[in-house]
Structure 1
């Protein structure tokens, strides 16, 4: 290791022990992995490039209260903005996991830490950030999403998730905005009209209440007809997804089109969509997919969307990330118990690779059919 790197790492000497991990990314997969590693007795440094995640209308299926209690060690409180067991809001899950991480003495979370370089040698792995700091640990885990920086060092031959050929519009409306006009949906609606697909889901309100008048309605509108807009706005370049289309960047003409096209959908969804359009409370997310052929390289490993990116239609992302977190923590613990870390991480890869490849590929069948019918 060079003198420069040794000097840069000196500020973090307490985290150069073998019983340590650096987790790059502090969204859901990163938070889950950090908590699992902590339970295994491992000290964790989390590095996140943004200072805060925006609240959105995104939701996750297949997330039960038992899962969240196991992850956080805490039962739900009245202030938790969680939902029915079949659908959970992304923001509420993030809030609970983030609170558990902040309360964990084995985990330290650093924001505004943009990772620029990832490296390793026989004794440790490290990441260097834009502010000139270097963080060393026994293992570096990439939980940095579908545009993962760590993936470039794990799979340099296959670094990018690719555009699936369509997007989803996402929004969230208060029940009170449409109260008195429609019956509250009892379950998730999956609707197809023309070339479009809409998933609508009832959710608890911001305080977690499911009392009439206090609830919310979330929706995700699958749209394969506006790929030119995504490319015009730089959201997709070539076949690589670059970023989400923010509400402020949606053209007025597109908003008017969406309001008109909302007539495709039955009540209450047409009114919920128009409410969101009127408030500019929508985002457009280009869908990326990534089928991995490896999850580790030496002391470097991937979890969550850094490792595998299925279409949201599979509703499998959270469950896959949770399984990754459990498996990576088990592997790192074995690596600290005498087995070489690189070998232990290979065991993680063997445990997870076939399963996650199959999950992503199952979603690709929907993607090819959906994107193809709009072509």
Structure 2
């Protein structure tokens, strides 16, 4: 079988554009990294294994994501002809899907970013002059740098940190659900931000989210919840969601036994107050629940030559830290500055080591602070 070699094109005015990057992964960190690189004058090819529009993440939410913060990363001096203005986000907690959609709109409007969905990266390599990836259909994409933004099961990480390639299971999962506020009979007002509750050995985060149309009018919003549970690790292993000490996938509703749904419903009735109790029971009744095993990864390095990591490929904290989005944004801006520096007189490997020096201590501390919660929480339920 022959291998198709594809050098990433350098588009636009050569006086304005400099260099080419391959970004593996088009989740939040990948999209932000691509945008930051393009702002810095670097052409980007993004390789994403799934469809351009991801599957809905029921109930997944992000705190601290403001319109100002998103405008900072989605701003652009150029856009494709005919591009419509970017949608805005409402104040408060944001759904993962709304933030992803906003970033995806910005990438789609940027003529210097090419997003290639359904492209599975199998391996990564480099030499003194370039770095490249080889896909499952034997295409090779080559650029000045390869950046792994491919999540906690990163393929690129295996080439950056071969002695520590895997994130590890933290010892618990989070049940996630999302329902419409209008479906809840409770008259209790929803909080403006996040409710954090504890009951027995479990924790619950409940939060209002804008409605599907972006509305934040009471009655038209959505209600999300995240239930921290360390008592169903056997189910994770039985279903192959966790193998050994590595997280492989989330539980879908089809993976969850009826007995587990009944157990969760009975427990919710006794543990959680209104309106979160009603929200959980509504999701259980509709079988609109997923279970996400939590992984963690404390990095020892972020770069290897012309290869680098950002986001969950670089560092995986428990969601309880609430720092994942901001850390990924800082990664994106820092690595874009480093790559831009390398387009001048600084060698790429040296510039990327500067990115590592800037970010490594901070992200290690972030993950380690969350590990204190994880170890305490998982051991309490053991």
Q: TM-score, length-normalised on structure 1?
A: 0.94
Q: Distance in 2 between matches of 1:202 and 1:92?
A: 13
1:14 corresponds to which of 5, 9, 17: 9
1:78 Cα deviation (Å)? 11
Q: Which residue of 2 aligns with 1:360?
A: 367
Quick check: 1:371 aligned with 2:366? no
1:260 Cα deviation (Å)? 0.8
1:140 Cα deviation (Å)? 0.1
Give 3-state SS (helix, strand or coil) of 1:352's partner: helix
Q: Which residue of 2 aligns with 1:341?
A: 348
Q: Distance in 2 between matches of 1:162 and 1:83?
A: 35
1:250 Cα deviation (Å)? 1.1
Q: Which residue of 2 aligns with 1:73?
A: 75
- Do 1:82 and 1:89's aligned partners in 2 also have CA atoms closer than 8 Å? no
Q: Distance in 1 between matches of 2:313 and 2:176?
A: 22
Q: Which residue of 1 aligns with 2:292?
A: 285
1:103 corresponds to which of 96, 99, 109: 109
- Do 1:290 and 1:310's aligned partners in 2 also have CA atoms closer than 8 Å? yes
Instruction: Tell me the matched-pair count.
Output: 367
1:208-219 equivalence runs, <5 A: 208-219=214-225
Question: 1:82-118 CA distances to partner (integer Å, 9 max, x unpaired)?
Answer: 3433x11100000000000010011000011000010
Alignment gaps of 5+ in structure 1: none
Quick check: 1:236 aligned with 2:217? no
Q: Distance in 1 between matches of 2:87 and 2:10?
A: 33
Alignment gaps of 5+ in structure 2: 12-16, 77-83
Query: Which stretches of structure 1, 4 residues or longer, exceed 3 Å deviation after superposition?
Result: 15-18, 77-83, 179-182
- Do 2:131 and 2:143's aligned partners in 1 also have CA atoms closer than 8 Å? yes
2:277 corresponds to which of 244, 253, 270: 270
CA spacing shift, 1:19–1:79, aligned 2, 3 Å:
closer
1:229 Cα deviation (Å)? 0.3
Give 3-state SS (helix, strand or coil) of 2:9's partner: helix
Q: Distance in 2 between matches of 1:81 and 1:286?
A: 31
- Do 1:18 and 1:124's aligned partners in 2 also have CA atoms closer than 8 Å? no
Q: Distance in 2 between matches of 1:191 and 1:294?
A: 36
Give 3-state SS (helix, strand or coil) of 1:101's partner: helix
1:280 Cα deviation (Å)? 1.1
Q: Distance in 1 between matches of 2:210 and 2:155?
A: 35
- Do 1:84 and 1:203's aligned partners in 2 also have CA atoms closer than 8 Å? no
Quick check: 1:221 aligned with 2:227? yes
Quick check: 1:55 aligned with 2:56? yes
Quick check: 1:318 aligned with 2:325? yes
Q: Distance in 2 between matches of 1:283 and 1:59?
A: 14
Q: Distance in 2 between matches of 1:218 and 1:302?
A: 30
Question: 1:169-213 CA distances to partner (integer Å, 9 max, x unpaired)?
Answer: 011110110145433333311000001000001111111111121
Quick check: 1:188 aligned with 2:197? no
Q: Distance in 2 between matches of 1:342 and 1:187?
A: 42
1:325 Cα deviation (Å)? 0.1
- Do 1:81 and 1:207's aligned partners in 2 also have CA atoms closer than 8 Å? no
- Do 1:79 and 1:207's aligned partners in 2 also have CA atoms closer than 8 Å? no
Q: Which residue of 1 aligns with 2:303?
A: 296
- Do 2:186 and 2:274's aligned partners in 1 also have CA atoms closer than 8 Å? no
- Do 2:2 and 2:138's aligned partners in 1 also have CA atoms closer than 8 Å? no
